[in-house]
Amino acid sequence: MKNASKRFVEASKKVDRTKVYSSDDAIKLAKEVKSAKFDETVDLAFRLGVDPRHADQMIRGALALPAGTGKTVRVVVITSGSKVDEATAAGADFAGGDDIITKIAGGWLDFDRVIASPDMMSKLGKVARLLGPRGLMPNPKLGTVTTDISGAVKEQKAGKVEYRTEKTGIVHVPIGKTSFTLEQLKQNYNAVVSAIVKAKPTSAKGTYIKSLTLSTTMGPGIKIDTVEAFNIL
């Protein structure tokens, strides 16, 4: 790798690029090779045997990680009536109706997740161009368009992650931080892998999980045995 940092080079020496690791060994190694001064995110990358150009092969969803994400998530709720107070009581950072939409239309984007009640979705069209490209547009399939405002807020604050297949068939999902214990990372790893395996489209042919790689924000990729992934269910 050109212009690789000294830390990355040293970390890479600890990873055998020709070896396929068990998930336990890969998680342990990822914690050992962390080199940044900040708390790095631990990420799973799946290379799937799907064609995202076909709607029935697009892998997309969300799940709450058992051990959380280790990240503070700023949640805004767009709703009406008593649901505004319900959102605030559940821990939403911002809650409102037309006032919030107007604020977003003016360029305000100081949040990480948007939850909306169904009655407000028609009004969100005016800010769809701002929210959509950033992956912030509420979606029923992701649980961010719901009448259960309280439950949705608690899930997002507790550590719900979203995933979506990229054009090349890659799916990236964070499973925590390097400061997490081995057990916490393994719990989240199992939850994510199970979700991806269960999401296999019936129309997908051939090998479903072609490769599975674990890495930290500043660290090298660590290959994981894909066969093991199907034994988690």
| Model confidence pLDDT, tens digit, residues 74-129 | 999 999 999 999 999 999 999 999 999 999 999 999 999 999 999 999 999 999 99
How many domains, in total, are found in the chain?
Answer: 2
Give pLDDT, residue 89: 97
Within a domain: residue 181?
A: yes
- Indicate if the alpha-carbon torsion angle 43, 44, 46, 52 is positive or negative: negative
Last residue of a domain, one of 122, 157, 192: 157
Are residues 42 and 216 in contact, defined by beta-carbon separation less than 8 angstroms? yes
| 97 & 45 share domain | no
Which pLDDT value is given to residue 34?
Answer: 85
Bigger pLDDT: 151 vs 231:
151
Q: Is the pLDDT of residue 18 over 60?
A: yes
Same domain, 80 and 153: yes
Identify whether residues 183 and 153 lie together within a single domain: no
Distance of CA 38 to the CA centre of its chain: 20
Do 177 and 140 have their domain in common? no
**Domain-located, residue 6:** no
Task: Give 13 or 224, the one with higher predicted confidence.
Answer: 224
**Do 89 and 150 sit in the same domain of this protein?**
yes
Range of the domain at 113: 75-157
Model confidence band, residue 16 (pLDDT cutoffs 50, 70, 90): confident
Lowest mean pLDDT among 5-14, 33-42, 170-179: 5-14
Q: Check whether residue 102 and residue 151 sit in a common domain.
A: yes
Residue 213 has pLDDT above 80, yes or no: yes
Q: Average the pLDDT over 188-212 and give the result.
A: 94
**pLDDT interval class at 4 (50, 70, 90):** low
CATH of residue 152's domain is 3.40.50.790
| 52 part of a folded domain | yes
Considering only residues 11 and 33, tell me which one the structure prediction assigns the higher pLDDT.
33
Last residue of a domain, one of 157, 185, 215: 157
Same domain, 214 and 184: yes
189 belongs to a structural domain: yes
- Which amino acid is it at 75? V
Q: What is the CATH number of the domain that holds 198?
A: 3.30.190.20
Q: Does residue 221 contact residue 19 with C-beta atoms inside 8 Å? A: no
CA distances in angstroms from 141 to 69, 146, 156, 161, listed in the order given: 20, 10, 14, 13
172 and 192 part of one domain? yes
51 within domain boundaries: yes
Pairwise CA distance, residues 218 & 109, whole Å = 27
- pTM for the complete prediction? 0.80
What is the pLDDT confidence band of residue 37, given thresholds at 50, 70 and 90? confident
Residue 192, domain member (yes or no): yes
* CA dist 193 → 54, 93, 132, 175 (Å): 22, 30, 26, 10
Residue 173: pLDDT band by 50, 70, 90 thresholds? very high
